Structure 1
Amino acid sequence: MKQRVPLTLAAVTAALAAVTGLAALTAPAADGAPAAAAQGKAAARMPVERSLLVCPAPSTSDIAETVYTAITPGSAAAGAKGTARLLGATKDAKQVLELKEPGKPVGAKASGAEAPALTGIADGFLAPGWSAQQTTVVSVGRTRGLLGVGCTAAGTDFWFPGVSTAKGREDYIHLTNPDDTAAVVDIKLFGPDGAVKTEPGTSENIRIDPKSSKAISLTSLAPGAQLADVTAHVTTRAGRVGATTQAGEEGTGSDWLPASVDPAGTLVLPGIPADATSVRLVAFAPGEDDADLRLRLAGPTGSISPADNEQLHVKAGMTASVDLKDVTRGEAGSLILSPADGKKAVPVVAALRVVRGNGPKQDIAFIQAAAPVGARATVADNRTDQNATVLSLTAASGADAKVRVTASPGTEGGEPASQEVTLKAGTTQNLTLVPTGGKGSYALTVETLSGGPVHAARTLTIPRDGIPMFTVQTLTDDRSTVAVPKATQDLTVLTAR
């Protein structure tokens, strides 16, 4: 029988450090308790030391005007060091903006169709909560509209309910590879009758070169299909990408459609504007079971079921949709999807297509099912013009909640402002909060203080020529901390056996 080669304590320490990252190597308990007991303690939460964001290329229009805003919330500790920059997601990686201190946003502008996709990199004390947003105005043309999107983390799996291959729609999935190795991507489409047949060689093994971005037209994947409501599923075979969809609708407007939260039995789609003239729900059940969903609208005083649309049946593997019309009826609200009475919870993904205005004076935006704000969430680009920025807060569960909302200084000056808000269970409250004397773009940060989970969305309105151009961004946890397991010294690994 062979004996295990004894390890030195230094080797054990190195191995533990490699496995646990920032975890501390601690001594055994003084009372001689076994190491396993010490390991049973809850993992500590520590600030992240590096954050990576990806922003898609903003527009193909020559008259596009884009504003970038970035911020790390909070304040700097004495002697803390760190960097945060937005760079072109290209090999030459030209810098777009640089953040030097937390708590104060920095902005930049770009014009025309040549603005590239971006990668945001933050480390040190600027990494926890690093957030960025790009907002684009296209005044005329087929892609006119206000297009807003938060820069997101790269990933490997994305769901996009609400895309379309219908005549008059121009939908592109933007894929950005922030890494030094190539990514390989597959795109699958699902319509009302199930999987959509795509052109051979167009939807699988899509190569995204290192430090590059590619926009994939959905109609090029399935040129024979003209479907109003489609769900796209983006997965990677190799590497990771940032993924989001830009949707344009002739005569109505355009905006970004971000990925839905991961499939779940209960979903919240927050922040439907009070004056929405049309709301359409699109849902998809990716598993093998049909889903029967109960629809509720959480408004200022409570939750109600939309008239004649109390439930939605979603067949497995098929995209379902329902026109909720002007469901808010003058009061802002959030849509809650949950299992219908007596039905089991079946994971689904969902999104809303929202229209404001009438006739030729319309614009569209999309609201995806979103995760709660968690401990803290930030949306980076807001404007101080009257009623330009509206924050919607929803306590969707059966518990009341309390949050703190902070408006940062503007990129061109001002002082922060803060307000605490108590939310009754099953309600949505709208809030307008601007920095004192604020100028330029500012950030809104939501912190959960107590109670149940809170969902939030920000509506930004920038009217043009009588058109209520708008965009809606949901807020999700900024991932400013990470769980770090506790490691302990276990000398039994040094024992030869």
Structure 2
Amino acid sequence: MNRTTMSLIGVVAALAAVTGVAAVAAPGDDADPAASKAARLPVQRSALMCPAPTSSEVGETTYTAFTPKGAGAGKGSASLVPAADGRADDVGKKDAPGKDDKKKAADTKPVAPLKAPGTPVTATTDRSDAPALVGAADGGLAPGWSVQQTTEVGAGIGRGLLGTSCTAPDTDFWFPGASTSPDRQDYVHLTNPDATAAVVDLKLYGKDGPLKAASGEDIQVPPHSSVPVLLSTLSDTRSTNVALHVTAREGRVGAAVQAGDEKTGGDWLPAAADPATGASGLVLPGIPADATSVRLVALAPGSADADLKVQLATPTGSIVPAGLETLHLKSGMTTAVDLKDLTKGEAGSLLLTPAEGSKAPVAAALRVTRGKGADQEMAFIPATKPVGDRATAADNRAKGSTLSLVAPEKGKDARVKVTASAGSEGGSPVSKTYTVKGGSTLAVEPPRPNGLKGSYALTVEPEKGGAPVYAARTLALPHGGVQSFTVQTLPDDRGTVEVPTAGWNMSVLND
């Protein structure tokens, strides 16, 4: 076989390998003009990481895994496996022969493996040393594979309901809303899913700029391992409101901040959406109607200051919070604004848009508190990306779920289909369509499966070609006198990817 023939075969094979179904268009006058455009096709592999849930002796964690039905074709696999403890004093440690053999066997067993789409699978643990998890899905189970980690902690610092969506690996994360205060214990969990070590830098920004750091550079995260870092050990400065920047200089990691407070309990602070510069600004959806305190923490990480217009999207439209028409952010300095009981008894979402002439990127998150006095509980809402084609909230119970949908553009209503999956132990799916008025937040009790047994998943699908929609799910469970809660934003579940359509290019035949 000659060299030019091999070149042509190689090009076609490479394009087909991207998805396994790439099309090759034949030349001719009647060729479809759309053939040169990218197509959205189901992904064939997804990766997720879940941080170590809790060190509490009175905590219980539930993992819920789910892939939407009809998202992909063919069989596949999807499961998580325990990661090693990557801290230096534990790397290479070996127990004496015969010790904890049952525990070692459990540490190699897949967690919440899926066998088919459309029905969630759950797993629970009450171990105080439960490890971080790394996993992958392929084939028909890869598109939209989602895992929710929900932990109930009965007492102590960080008590309450802690929830997080397990995340895909990346190299850059922003966490506005973290803290190095003596009242808080905030850990960033770094999880490496790959076979090579990752090298990570951590940098904190306070109200006066970057905090002087005693450490934070060249943190080694061994292969298939997880490393927790207490933020207060990175600097001698104690600050209630800081923004954490996580950068992987080598490799990639999953990152999440576990925040624990003596008075207001604990929750996971997920990474905020990438600092935005566009006219659409930032959307922070799902502030509960009964929030007693809302704090905005924001940072302009670039070289220029940022000016933002602040609005609250209520059930009846967008309003400007009293006394906060605009917000000025100095470059590299973290700004915290107490919005108090911003929602006044109505569910809402915060909209941050650039003021005229302002183009600096911004990262932002909210700390939301419910209850008063000794009966307080906190959760976090980072700025998030729009739902896109579809978003998924994997862990919902018979009671306690609230779905918030936001159409931030005034005059542009959105129609959204919400589907409740089959239950993990029984029940049949149910769908309902909602209309969200432009510039408003719609907070609803989502549909539940018929004959529900166990937990279920929600999928959110905006009407194609319609106005952009942002979403968040609040899960509230009773805990003594406190209505413990956690909020998860619902960006696109990355079930599809743009793939260019292959066409003939005769230039590959030229030597």
Which band: TM-score by shorter chain?
Answer: over 0.9
Q: TM-score, normalised by structure 1?
A: 0.93
Query: Does 1:263 find its partner at 2:275?
Result: yes
Amino acid at match of 1:247: A
Residue 8 of structure 1: SS of its match in structure 2? helix
Match of residue 86 from structure 1? 80
| TM superposition shift of 1:40 | 7.1
| Structure 2 Cα separation of the partners of residues 492 and 96 of structure 1 | 50
In 2, Cα distance between equivalents of 1:420 and 1:24: 33
* Residue aligning to 1:305: 320
Aligned to 1:115: 130
CA offsets 1:284-312 (integer angstroms, 9 cap, x no match): 00111111111111010001011112221
Distance 1:30 1:435 in 2: 51
Distance, in Å, in 2 between the alignment partners of 1:447 and 1:189 is: 37
Kindly provide the amino acid, as one letter, of the partner of residue 375 in structure 2. K
Rounded to whole Å, the distance in 2 between the matches of 1:27 and 1:405 is 37
Output the TM-score relative to the length of structure 2.
Answer: 0.91
Cα distance, 1:62 vs structure 2: 1.3
- Structure 1 position 32, deviation (Å): 9.8
From 30, 34, 43, the equivalent of 2:38 is 43
Maintained 8 Å contact 2:296/2:365: yes
- Give the aligned partner of residue 57 of structure 1: 52
Q: Which moved more, 1:433-442 or 1:256-265?
A: 433-442
- Whether 2:4 is the aligned partner of 1:8: answer yes
Shift of 1:415: 1.4
Match of 2:473 in 1: 458
Question: Partner residue of 2:13?
Answer: 17
| Residue correspondence of structure 1 range 86-485 to structure 2 within 5 A | 86-90=80-84, 93-199=108-214, 202-222=215-235, 224-265=236-277, 266-340=281-355, 342-385=356-399, 388-398=400-410, 399-432=412-445, 433-450=447-464, 451-485=466-500
Q: What is the root-mean-square deviation in Å for CA atoms of aligned residues? A: 1.9
- The DSSP-based 3-state class of the residue aligned with 2:468 is coil
Distance 2:72 2:383 in 1: 36
- Alpha-carbon separation, structure 2, partners of 1:452 and 1:26: 33
Q: Distance in 2 between matches of 1:489 and 1:372?
A: 36
Which secondary structure state, in structure 1, belongs to the residue aligned with residue 483 of structure 2?
Answer: coil
Q: What are the Cα deviations for residues 223-276 of structure 1, in whole angstroms up to 9, with x where unaligned?
A: x21111100100111110000100011111100000000011310000000000
Larger deviation, residues 69-78 vs 435-444? 69-78
Cα deviations by residue, 1:136-162 (Å, 9 ceiling, x for unpaired): 000111121100000110000000000
CA deviations on 1:390-443 (whole Å, 9 max, x unpaired) are 000000123211110011121111111111001110000111121122122111
The alignment partner of 1:264 has SS state of: coil
Contact 1:186/1:205, CA 8 A, preserved across alignment: yes
Cα distance in structure 2, aligned partners of 1:39 and 1:255: 47
The 1-side partners of 2:328 and 2:510 are apart by 61
Residue identity over aligned pairs, in percent, reads 56
Corresponding position: 1:67 with 2:62: yes
Q: In structure 2, how many angstroms separate the alpha carbons of the residues matched to 1:24 and 1:430?
A: 40
Call closer, same or farther: CA 1:11–1:218 in 2, change over 3 Å.
same
Q: Is the 8 A contact 1:372 1:455 kept in 2?
A: yes
Letter in 2 for 1:218: L
Return closer, same or farther for 1:32/1:66 CA change in 2, 3 Å cut-off: closer
- Structure-1 separation of matches of 2:7 and 2:112: 43
Separation of aligned partners in 2, 1:198 and 1:117: 27
Tell me, in whole angstroms, the C-alpha distance in 1 between the residues paired with 2:449 and 2:30. 56
Please give the alpha-carbon distance, in whole angstroms, between the structure 1 residues aligned to 2:24 and 2:257. 47
CA distance in 2, matches of 1:9, 1:38: 27
Give the match's secondary structure for 1:109: strand
Q: Which amino acid is 1:313 matched to? A: H
Q: 1:128 to 1:391 in 2, by over 3 A?
A: same
Aligned amino acid, residue 44 of structure 1: A
Hey, what's the Cα distance between the residues in 2 that align with 1:495 and 1:226? Answer: 65
- Residues 310-362 of structure 1: CA distance to partner in whole angstroms, max 9, x if unpaired? 2211001110110000000100000000123x332321000000000000001
CA contact (8 A) 2:36 2:503 kept: no
* Cα 1:141/1:16, change in 2 over 3 Å: same
The answer to whether the Cα contact below 8 Å between 2:170 and 2:252 also exists between their aligned partners in 1 is yes
Q: Distance in 2 between matches of 1:263 and 1:229?
A: 18
* SS, match of residue 479 in structure 1: coil
Contact 2:47 2:135 in 1 (8 A): yes
Partner of 1:3: none
Which consecutive residues of structure 2, in runs of 5 or more, have no partner in the other structure?
86-106
2:27 equivalent to 1:29: yes
